[in-house]
């Protein structure tokens, strides 16, 4: 055990889990380096944050420049970077998202988005979807059902929260169409038996469930949720905290769907590593939210918003490359799946790719041990990969957008080799 790890464990609460024991001394692009010069490619992107790679030069320069001039406002004085970041957000989000506010974390952005929906509609009900992850603060955990452990010990969570099924075709052993039909049927039953639509403020949805196992929402499911919302004056919040800022090889997952959000929550990649999140809605909705009925001291910090401006100035040029990476990775993983029995499913959107490991394809039995083996194999060869899904058996493949095709092939080869050694053991 390194000295740092012992000191870490001595003073830091174990509840905050770290995926590796790497002692990071520096990080650049896709690489993280320890004090002895050992390095690893970070295909976890600091949990889906450093989409532009660590310390992207444009982001570092913007943050340095800002820190030399103004580091804090606390909503007392006005400053350029917060306005510029909101202007850039208006350019890259769907057209109906017109005004923005900033916060510090994804959970905060989700909570603010729900507060906005409640205030807007003067209704209390929130419908979330099973398998979603929206954060771990008391409000956001009330909408989180990716894994029961997140709520264990914290009940009662917030009231008036209803959880509808989200289609998980592979896990349910169904075609996508059958899973969508079943989910829509259950949603309508919920509206008949559990909560009347007139009491629902919002549907809160991850267009691609992240933590829950990398399940993209089928377009027909999104269309139906949009239709129900339109029929009953319900707002839809897209939680794009993980899917945003190039992760799906578009600016947002919303760009892949006809169904659009009324409110968006964003975070993670927004400032490529500085703590920042945001939420947006129509000007009409934002202007009707009473002044001061929500607020923050640190949200929209000058340095973090300056970094966000640099992210948004840089990312657009990388999206075509991200699409190529995505196409290549899906093709390669599907080829690997033909050879490796352990892979039950390959799914996702853009560069948010889930590869599900099973011990038996016929029963789709989750195999977390296979994932751990492949993860250790990769780690010993300088690659960091992490998992998702309630069973810990889905490889969450999220390379930085600046990864080269050669680096991508190298990483997929390591997964393939890891599976080969698992299957031949
Ligand atoms: C979709 C989604 N929403 C919300 C959150 C919570 O974000 P944070 O950890 O920044 O509070 C996460 C974090 O993983 C997420 O993936």
Write out pLDDT tens, residues 358-372: 999 999 999 999 999
The alpha carbon of 125 is separated from its chain's Cα centroid by a whole number of angstroms, namely 24
The fraction of the chain above a pLDDT of 70, given in percent, is: 100
Count the neighbouring beta carbons within 10 Å of the beta carbon of residue 155.
Answer: 7
State yes or no: pLDDT of 345 exceeds 70.
yes
Q: How many CA atoms lie less than 13 Å away from 119 in the CB half-sphere?
A: 19
In sequence order, which residues have a C-beta less than 8 Å from that of residue 299 and are 6 or more positions away?
101, 102, 103, 104, 108, 276, 277
Q: How far is the CA of 210 from the centre of ligand 1 (A)?
A: 9
- Confidence band, pLDDT 50/70/90 cuts, at residue 198: very high
Q: How far is the CA of 99 from the centre of ligand 1 (A)?
A: 21
Gap between the Cα atoms of 322 and 306, Å rounded: 24
Write out pLDDT tens, residues 316-328: 999 999 999 999 9
Pocket of ligand 1 (CB under 6 A): 105-107, 110, 133-135, 206, 210-211, 239, 241-242, 267
Indicate which residue's Cα is closest to atom 3 of ligand 1: 134
Indicate which residue's Cα is closest to atom 8 of ligand 1: 106
Write out pLDDT tens, residues 215-254: 999 999 999 999 999 999 999 999 999 999 999 999 999 9
Q: How far is the CA of 1 from the centre of ligand 1 (A)?
A: 30
State yes or no: pLDDT of 288 exceeds 70.
yes
**Which atom belonging to ligand 1 lies closest to the Cα atom of 240?**
1
Select from 48, 60, 153 the least CA-distant residue to 387.
Answer: 48
Q: How far is the CA of 106 from the centre of ligand 1 (A)?
A: 4
Q: Residue 275's pLDDT is what?
A: 98
Domain spans, the chain: 1-42, 57-315
Q: Residue 273's pLDDT is what?
A: 98
Q: Residue 2's pLDDT is what?
A: 74
- Confidence band, pLDDT 50/70/90 cuts, at residue 302: very high
Q: Is residue 206 within 8 Å of residue 243, measured between CB atoms?
A: yes
State yes or no: pLDDT of 71 exceeds 90.
yes
Q: Which helix (H) or strand (E) holds 203?
A: strand 200-205
Average pLDDT on 279-295 reads 97
Which mutation among 247, 267, 296, 298 tests ligand 1's pocket best, with the greatest number of atoms within 8 A of CB?
Answer: 267
Indicate which residue's Cα is closest to atom 16 of ligand 1: 242
- Paired strand residues for 125: 200
Write out pLDDT tens, residues 15-45: 999 999 999 999 999 999 999 999 999 999 9
State yes or no: pLDDT of 1 exceeds 60.
no
Q: Is residue 217 within 8 Å of residue 208, measured between CB atoms?
A: yes
- What is the DSSP track for 89-121? HHHHS-TT--EEEEESSHHHHHHHHHHHHHHHH
Instruction: Say yes or no: domain 57-315 is CATH 3.40.640.10.
Output: yes
Write out pLDDT tens, residues 109-127: 999 999 999 999 999 999 9
Q: Residue 185's pLDDT is what?
A: 98
Write out pLDDT tens, residues 179-193: 999 999 999 999 999
Put simply, whether the predicted model's pTM sits higher than 0.85 gets the answer yes
Q: What is the mean pLDDT of the chain?
A: 98
Q: Which helix (H) or strand (E) holds 83?
A: helix 80-92
**Which atom belonging to ligand 1 lies closest to the Cα atom of 108?**
11
Q: How far is the CA of 266 from the centre of ligand 1 (A)?
A: 9
290 DSSP 8-state letter? P
């Amino acid at each position: 055990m390194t000295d740092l790890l012992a000191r870490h464990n001595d003073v830091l609460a174990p509840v905050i889990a770290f995926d590796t024991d790497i002692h990071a001394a520096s990080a650049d692009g896709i690489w993280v380096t320890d004090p002895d010069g050992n390095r690893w490619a970070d295909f976890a992107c600091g949990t889906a944050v450093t989409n532009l790679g660590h310390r992207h030069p444009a982001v570092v320069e913007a943050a340095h420049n800002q820190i030399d001039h103004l580091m804090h406002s606390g909503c007392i004085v006005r400053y350029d970077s917060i306005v510029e970041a909101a202007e850039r957000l208006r350019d890259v989000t769907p057209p109906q998202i017109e005004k923005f506010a900033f916060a510090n974390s994804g959970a905060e952005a989700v909570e603010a988005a729900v507060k906005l929906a409640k205030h807007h509609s003067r209704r209390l009900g929130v419908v979330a979807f099973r398998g979603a992850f929206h954060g771990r603060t008391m409000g956001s955990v009330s909408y989180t059902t990716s894994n029961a452990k997140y709520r264990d010990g914290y009940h009662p969570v917030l009231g008036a929260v209803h959880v509808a099924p989200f289609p998980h075709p592979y896990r349910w052993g169904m075609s996508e169409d059958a899973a969508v039909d079943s989910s829509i049927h259950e949603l309508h039953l919920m509206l008949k038996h559990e909560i009347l639509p007139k009491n629902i403020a919002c549907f809160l949805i991850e267009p691609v469930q992240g933590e829950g196992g990398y399940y993209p929402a089928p377009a027909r499911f999104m269309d139906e949720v949009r239709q129900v919302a339109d029929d009953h004056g319900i707002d839809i919040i897209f939680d794009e905290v993980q899917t945003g800022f190039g992760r799906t090889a578009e600016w947002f997952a919303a760009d892949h769907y006809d169904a659009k959000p009324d409110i968006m929550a964003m975070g993670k990649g927004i400032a490529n590593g500085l703590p920042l999140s945001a939420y947006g809605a129509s000007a009409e909705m934002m202007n009707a939210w009473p002044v001061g009925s929500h607020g923050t001291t640190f949200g929209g910090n000058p340095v973090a918003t300056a970094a966000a401006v640099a992210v948004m100035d840089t990312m657009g040029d990388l999206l075509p490359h991200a699409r190529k990476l995505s196409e290549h990775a899906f093709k390669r993983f599907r080829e690997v799946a033909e050879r490796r029995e352990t892979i039950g499913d390959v799914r996702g959107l853009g560069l948010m790719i889930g590869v599900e490991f099973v011990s038996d394809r016929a029963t789709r039995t989750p195999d977390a041990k296979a994932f751990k083996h492949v993860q250790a194999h990769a780690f010993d060869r300088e690659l960091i990969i992490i998992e998702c899904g309630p069973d810990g058996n889905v490889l969450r493949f999220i390379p930085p957008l600046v990864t080269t095709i050669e680096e991508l092939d190298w990483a997929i080869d390591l997964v393939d080799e890891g599976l080969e050694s698992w299957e031949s053991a």
